[in-house]
Amino acid sequence: MKKIDTAIFSGGCFWGVEYYMKKMEGVFLAEVGYTGGTKDHPTYEEVCSGTTGHYEATRITFDPSQTTFEAVVKMFFEIHDPTQWNHQGPDFGEQYRSAIFYNNEKQKEISEKLIRELKDKGFRVVTELKPAQAFWVAEEYHQNYYEHKGTTPYCHGYVKRF
């Protein structure tokens, strides 16, 4: 039986995070959705309104025999700007906050360690660490957005930080 692990990240527009995470070896599923808010089954419009408290997020499912949680977090920090608060590039709004939603203490410890490393390198990291909450899968038209559109992300790009 295949072992799996999950990680949930918010790093601006969920389409860009999904796009890059799916390219990682060992990642076999990336789903975009919403987490961290107060409404069950929120819609995209509700999240964008700023009334639900949700983050646009991406849930990554990966094989820990092929990659590690630490490698996935490093990729997360290298595909978005963890120093931007309530926005990412041209996208503004509280749903674009940078956050890691950890599933257990080990994930929290690894995330804290990597944030310390970035801060030691001079980055003013604003990424929040929060316990994982309900993850609501976004509407189907948001899944695999860039594959369907045939373009690449406009607000995310890879920047080596580790």
pLDDT tens, residue by residue, 17-38: 999 999 999 999 999 999 999 9
99: tokens are 């956050």
Yes or no: is domain 5-141 CATH 3.40.50.620? no
Instruction: Say yes or no to pLDDT of 156 above 80.
Output: yes
Contact between 22 and 162 under an 8 Å Cβ cutoff? The reply is: no
Which element (helix H / strand E) includes 101?
strand 98-102
- Tell whether the model's pLDDT for residue 64 goes beyond 90: yes
Q: State the SS3 of 1-66.
A: CCCCEEEEEEECCHHHHHHHHCCCCCEEEEEEEEECCCCCCCCHHHHHHCCCCCEEEEEEEECCCC
Burial-class residue 6 by CB neighbours within 10 Å (0-12, 13-18, 19+). middle
Measured distance CA(157)–CA(124) in Å, rounded: 19
What residues contact 132, with CB distance under 8 A and at least 6 apart? 8, 35, 101, 102, 103
- List, by residue number, the catalytic residues: 13
pLDDT at 1: 63
Q: Is the pLDDT of residue 2 over 80?
A: no
Domain residue spans of the chain: 5-141
Question: Mean pLDDT in the chain?
Answer: 94
pLDDT score for 147: 86
pTM for the whole thing? 0.95
